[in-house]
Amino acid sequence: MSSTDWLHRYLESLAAINAPVLECLLPPASESEIQVLAQETGLSIPSSLRAFWQRVGGIQQGLTYHNAAFAGYLFAPVSVQESLEDFRLAEQLRRENPMEDQEFADQFWPAGMIKFAGEDSNGFWVNCRPESPTFESVYVRFVNSDPLLRWSTNINALFKTLCAAVAEGTIRVAGETDADWDAGSLATDETALDVLAKKMNPGCAAHDDESAVHAIPDWN
């Protein structure tokens, strides 16, 4: 299965439930944009991440937090340019205040990782160190100070899980009476999604009941 198959199916599943977020996605990134990111970070962009950005270039600015969610909690797609700007900010912090800002910079941009969805240091990251045993794996951070936790073995596996979530109604379009979600946004049953993700992605710490115990920084 190619790097884009499950992403393509996920986009089709959102279209089938008339998800408004599809109208807010930005055009695909260019190969030159992705190459600049790879060169500046010194990392290897996995084919799955490259394929994601060549299909989903990011999301429009100015949306509410809920309406920017493309795949549940924390998943607002980040453009290549936004990811590069965050990397440059982290590098600037390391240069200007290596002692005071080192810990913050490491949280804001973890070594060996590239962010493709989320806000600030929270969201979804891909391991981009080819020498790592978990190269191409997707990691998530829910709170700034938390460790990164492995969500899936790659982006394709992530979207395979999300396709199943739409099929079973765990991810759906919110209605006018949904108190916790903006109408038209993708409402997500986080508990049900975690159960599904744990079943479909065995061994991934993000779905483990003792995730903090298993949050080993194996990307180093």
What residues does each domain of the chain span?
Answer: 5-205
Q: How many CB atoms lie within 10 A of CB 104?
A: 15
Q: Does position 160 have pLDDT exceeding 80, yes or no?
A: yes
CA distance 171 to 165: 6
Domain covering 5-205 assigned CATH 2.70.98.10 in the classification: no
List pLDDT tens digits, range 163-216. 999 999 999 988 888 877 888 888 888 889 888 999 999 888 877 544 433 344
Once rounded to an integer, what is the mean pLDDT over residues 73-102? 81
List pLDDT tens digits, range 74-88. 688 999 999 999 889
Burial class (CB in 10 A: 0-12, 13-18, 19+), 175: exposed
pLDDT for the residue 217 = 47
Q: How far is CA 5 from the centre of its chain?
A: 17
Once rounded to an integer, what is the mean pLDDT over residues 27-31? 95
Once rounded to an integer, what is the mean pLDDT over residues 17-30? 91
Once rounded to an integer, what is the mean pLDDT over residues 18-22? 89
Helix (H, G, I), strand (E, B) or coil at 207: helix
CA distance 163 to 217: 28
* Whole-number percent of the chain with pLDDT over 90: 45
CA distance 198 to 125: 18
Measured CA to CA in angstroms, residue 174 lies from 184, 191, 195, 218 at distances of: 5, 17, 21, 37
Q: How far is CA 154 from the centre of its chain?
A: 11
Once rounded to an integer, what is the mean pLDDT over residues 104-117? 83
